[in-house]
Amino acid sequence: MRRFLSAPTILALLLGLGSCAPTIKKGAPVVPSQGWKVTSPSGLLTMEVRHFSPTGTPDYPTQPRLYFRVAFGGGEAKTEILRWSPLGITRKDADFTDDLRYLGESQRRVTDDYTLPRGKRSHFSNAGVEHVLSFETLQKARVDLMVRAYDDGLAFRYHFPEANRGPFTIAGEATGFRFMPGARAILLPQYEPGASQDQGGPAEWMTDLPAGSAAPAGARWALPALFASPDRSRWALLAESGLAAGHAALGLAGKSDSEIYRFRFPHPDEEAGRGEVQPKSSLPWSTPWRVLIVSDGLAGVVESSLVTDLGAPAAAAADWVRPGNVVRHPGASGLERASLGPGVHLADLAASMGWGYALLSAQWPSGGGSTWRKLVRATASKKVGWLIGPRDAAGLPLAEFSTAGLKGVRVAVSASGKPDVVESLLAILEEAGKRHLLVQFEGRVPGAGWDRSYPHLLSATAGRSGAPERDGASQARQNAIDPFTRNVVGPMEPTPIAFHSPAHPSSVTWGHELGLTVVFESGLRSFAESDGALPDEAVSLLTGLPSAWDETRLLHGDPGHSVIIARRKARIWYVGGLNGDAVAKTQAVPMELLGTGLFNMILVADGPSATELVVTKRQRNATDVQGIKMAPYGGFLMRLVPQN
């Protein structure tokens, strides 16, 4: 359960922020025998750092190095989340693991308070404590270990404070994560180029693994990664944030010696062998944040915005950014024909549903942009914006898109995390923002936290167009895992929601398709539909469905099996649920979140068959509990509107 700071505590932090300037201890600094302790504002979370040699720990060297461990909770409920785990980083010119000399430390309070046009909530606020430990090598090369502790997690990064044009190259990182004994993991394999998969098709989440399990042959583990205590009373999500130009998107080694998960650079053969693997930059320079969201329940993980909080603030105003639903033609690549008729018809459907956008296929010919401009003019009165894609990241004609009046682009993202790929995506976001173009990435996005730095990055998809389709069982199961992992660290939508689509056949029930609309948080939500294809029972709920929320709550969660999430817009609540299992189940949904007053409920849930829906209408208040039956691979969508 997520803990919130009291008003006096927040006020004290805000007042202290301006007066608590970092101060390095003077004189000859002495390493404290018990190391350093960084504690979150409420005392709920603690990270200890110590320079020593842990005894009896395999795979650790005998010479003293920096290690850290993490504990969560208070009193008898205090739990060690991470056992002593290694720290350290190596540049080609300097080794920041052995023979470090302690220089001093500083501490300050940090607050993040901002708004975004989309997200789990409309207003974001978090407070933490930052502790900076400064060290140098025997050759006088400097490194700072920057640690931040919040009540919903912690983050740390390495900072090289010296000024030097370099360039300097990171050769490796000793950082590792050794979770509590008996921990279980939910991990996503990331296959190396040329590696074969037993079943073929896209990689799938693997659940309930003993911590330390090796990845399948030819794979490493991707970030984010979810871990639980043996009794599932503690949860931790490992991720990164603040990926900048020059850096690589990291993964975890496929083999974790002594249950220690260590970072790994991208594979050299990614991008057909083009581009460097190791990060490179001038100084000063900071690595991305290594983030660990920690909670005593899955709600604290799902509702956390820590990864976004750690992203750099946006450099420009985002008042032009408008989230919305997107209708695309049910063909495999959206609306392809360069004809105004089908385009106007698609815009009519979007307008009738109160949806903001329609999608053009990447194959739609531009004719120098003339056909795009004609379509934009022909549908201008309908107040529907046009997006185009997916387009490859290389050579995107963003200027032409903007001049033609298009509102955004769907970009096919390389699966590589090499620095050149990261830099190219950041360049796209920079230029798109200047031209007021929305961006949706298709595929794995390496830059968690980018949605704060670039608020026009509204979404990322679960996979790329043309990827092999999963069967119903597999797709339903993945849909019941992503809300606890990938969607925690940024906006994400699953495959296009579809009811009658030959190119996107629904592999789950219609109730499951409806549940996706609220379970997943995404600033752009795609529907692969044509006029008259939407089920009558669903039209009233989908008309004007919000794409930005004021509040988010996890009501029930069992990764891979079921999930129920409630999201509020103004005083209206939407609740979505998914069943990832092959057996039907009934879930009790408490109405406590409603507060005072009566609400009119509309519930659209699974019917007798996969393509039938049942509608229930009732009055509800905060004392009620609504029982909902979900079919195998099923789901539901509910709306609760206050009577006054």
Element (H, E) at 463: none
Q: Which of 6-20, 126-140, 277-291, 397-411 has the lowest mean pLDDT?
A: 6-20
Q: Check whether 583 has a pLDDT greater than 60.
A: yes
Rounded mean pLDDT, 460-486? 80
3-state class of 373 per DSSP?
Answer: helix
Rounded mean pLDDT, 210-234? 95
Confidence of residue 6 (pLDDT cuts 50, 70, 90): very low
3-state secondary structure 561-610: CEEEEEEEECCEEEEEEEECCCCCEEEEEECHHHCCCCEEEEEEEECCCC
pLDDT of residue 502: 53
Confidence of residue 480 (pLDDT cuts 50, 70, 90): very high
Please state, in angstroms and rounded to a whole number, the distance separating the CA atoms of residues 258 and 69: 16
pLDDT of residue 501: 56
pLDDT > 90 in the chain, percent: 73
Confidence of residue 21 (pLDDT cuts 50, 70, 90): very low
pLDDT of residue 59: 76
Decide: 634 and 584 in contact? Cβ < 8 Å. yes
pLDDT of residue 93: 97
Q: Bigger pLDDT: 202 or 298?
A: 298
Residue type, 534: L
pLDDT of residue 360: 87
Helices (H), 2-109: 7-19
236: which strand partners?
227, 294
Q: Check whether 178 has a pLDDT greater than 90.
A: yes
Pairing, β 408-412 against β 385-392 = parallel
Locate 580 and state its tokens.
């990832």
3-state class of 143 per DSSP?
Answer: strand
Element (H, E) at 285: strand 280-286
3-state class of 338 per DSSP?
Answer: coil
pLDDT of residue 318: 93
CB atoms within 10 A of CB 552: 18
Residue type, 247: H
Confidence of residue 531 (pLDDT cuts 50, 70, 90): low
Find where tokens 């930059």 sit.
281
Rounded mean pLDDT, 120-138? 97
Rounded mean pLDDT, 495-501? 76
Half-sphere exposure of 251 (CA within 13 A, CB side): 24
Sheet containing strand 176-178, strands side by side = 176-178, 260-264, 251-252, 219-221, 189-191
Element (H, E) at 248: none
pLDDT of residue 22: 42
Residue type, 610: A
Element (H, E) at 540: helix 536-542
36: which strand partners?
49
Decide: 296 and 234 in contact? Cβ < 8 Å. yes
Tell me the C-alpha to C-alpha distance, in Å, between residue 343 and each of 355, 373, 443: 15, 12, 26
Confidence of residue 19 (pLDDT cuts 50, 70, 90): very low
- Nearest by Cα to 77 from 1, 148, 159, 182: 1
pLDDT of residue 222: 93
Confidence of residue 1 (pLDDT cuts 50, 70, 90): very low
pLDDT of residue 15: 38
Tell me the C-alpha to C-alpha distance, in Å, between residue 480 and each of 223, 507, 515, 558, 576: 17, 14, 11, 8, 12
Decide: 442 and 465 in contact? Cβ < 8 Å. yes
pLDDT of residue 620: 97
Q: Check whether 29 has a pLDDT greater than 80.
A: no
Q: Check whether 113 has a pLDDT greater than 50.
A: yes
Q: Check whether 473 has a pLDDT greater than 50.
A: yes
Q: Check whether 476 has a pLDDT greater than 70.
A: yes
User: What is the length of the chain?
Assistant: 644
Q: Check whether 196 has a pLDDT greater than 70.
A: no
Domains, the chain, with CATH or none: 7-309 (2.70.98.10), 324-642 (3.20.20.70)
Pairing, β 572-579 against β 562-569 = antiparallel
Helices (H), 462-534: 472-479, 510-519
Rounded mean pLDDT, 610-621? 95
pLDDT of residue 337: 57
3-state class of 639 per DSSP?
Answer: strand
Locate 199 and state its tokens.
């079943």
Cβ neighbours for 549, distance < 8 A, ≥ 6 positions apart: 118, 119, 120, 121, 122, 521, 567, 568, 569
| Cβ burial, residue 468 (10 Å; 0-12/13-18/19+) | exposed
pLDDT > 70 in the chain, percent: 88
pLDDT of residue 174: 95
Q: Check whether 520 has a pLDDT greater than 90.
A: yes
Q: Check whether 144 has a pLDDT greater than 80.
A: yes
Question: What's the chain's average pLDDT?
Answer: 89
Confidence of residue 467 (pLDDT cuts 50, 70, 90): low
Pairing, β 357-360 against β 324-328 = parallel
pLDDT of residue 381: 93
pTM over 0.95: no
Please state, in angstroms and rounded to a whole number, the distance separating the CA atoms of residues 283 and 144: 13
Locate 163 and state its tokens.
């000024």
Locate 404 and state its tokens.
């033609």
Q: Check whether 551 has a pLDDT greater than 50.
A: yes
Q: Which of 53-57, 235-239, 432-436, 626-630 has the lowest mean pLDDT?
A: 53-57
Please state, in angstroms and rounded to a whole number, the distance separating the CA atoms of residues 464 and 201: 12
Q: Check whether 468 has a pLDDT greater than 70.
A: no
Handedness of CA 68, 72, 77, 83 (dihedral sign): negative
Please state, in angstroms and rounded to a whole number, the distance separating the CA atoms of residues 276 and 246: 10
Residue type, 344: V
Confidence of residue 361 (pLDDT cuts 50, 70, 90): confident
Half-sphere exposure of 240 (CA within 13 A, CB side): 24
Decide: 153 and 69 in contact? Cβ < 8 Å. no
Decide: 567 and 549 in contact? Cβ < 8 Å. yes
pLDDT of residue 202: 64
Q: Check whether 463 has a pLDDT greater than 90.
A: no
Decide: 350 and 327 in contact? Cβ < 8 Å. yes
pLDDT of residue 231: 95
Rounded mean pLDDT, 269-298? 96
Straight-line distance from the first to the last Cα atom of the chain, in angstroms, rounded to the nearest whole number: 30
Q: Which of 20-34, 85-99, 150-164 has the lowest mean pLDDT?
A: 20-34
The distance of Cα 524 from the centroid of its chain, to the nearest Å, equals: 15
Q: What is the pLDDT of residues 331-353, one digit of tens each?
A: 545 555 556 788 888 899 999 99
Element (H, E) at 434: helix 419-434
Decide: 487 and 521 in contact? Cβ < 8 Å. yes
Decide: 361 and 383 in contact? Cβ < 8 Å. no
Please state, in angstroms and rounded to a whole number, the distance separating the CA atoms of residues 430 and 567: 30
39: which strand partners?
46
In 78-200, DSSP assigns E strands to: 79-86, 89-91, 94-96, 101-115, 123-136, 142-150, 153-173, 176-178, 184-187, 189-191
58-72, 104-118, 498-512, range with greatest mean pLDDT: 104-118
pLDDT of residue 33: 83
Q: Check whether 400 has a pLDDT greater than 50.
A: yes
Q: Check whether 307 has a pLDDT greater than 70.
A: yes
pLDDT of residue 13: 39
Q: Check whether 500 has a pLDDT greater than 80.
A: no
Q: Check whether 145 has a pLDDT greater than 90.
A: yes
172-175 contacts at long range (C-beta below 8 A, 24 or more positions apart): 172/89, 172/90, 173/88, 173/89, 173/90, 173/250, 173/262, 173/263, 174/65, 174/86, 174/87, 174/88, 174/89, 174/90, 174/97, 174/262, 175/85, 175/86, 175/87, 175/88, 175/89, 175/262, 175/263, 175/290
The verdict on whether omega for the bond into residue 167 sits within 30 degrees of 0, i.e. cis, is: yes
Q: Which of 30-34, 116-120, 177-181, 558-562 has the lowest mean pLDDT?
A: 30-34
